[in-house]
Amino acid sequence: MIYKGRFRTVRHKDHAVPAPPPRSLLGPASWLDIRAWRRLETDGPMLLVTSPRKTGGAVQRNRFRRRVRMAFLARVNPLLAQSWVVWVRPNRTAPPLDTISFQDIESQLRLALRRFTATDTP
């Protein structure tokens, strides 16, 4: 799926998580588990959103994915020149997905991407 020609979301079997998975960019107290790693085969950032069935029904999971995608679109500018995979999923301590607001998702994603670009610049 291509958005404005800048990046595409990751589809099934379109990514490979590194053997030791990268550590989370946010602490265990946050509601989102956000991880990122460099990928050399692609051009531009890629987004992987995971929401397991036990976090809510299909409507809540799809709404969560759409909200994460829109928050990522708003914050993707620092990553445009690089090839990264950003993996977002609800943390184990997260409340039900229908209670997480868009502002919460956006603020946690903003914080994670700020930490990521500050520590992992090439």
11-26 pLDDT, tens digit each: 555 566 777 878 888 8
Q: Is the pTM of this model over 0.85?
A: no
pLDDT of residue 59: 92
Which of 114-120's residues contact partners 24+ apart within 8 Å by CB, and which partners?
115/25, 115/26, 116/25, 116/36, 116/84, 116/86, 117/78, 117/79, 120/36, 120/38
Residue 3 has pLDDT above 60, yes or no: no
Neighbour count for residue 21 (Cβ, 10 Å): 10
- Report all structural domains of the chain as residue ranges with CATH numbers, in order of start: 2-10+24-115 (3.30.230.10)
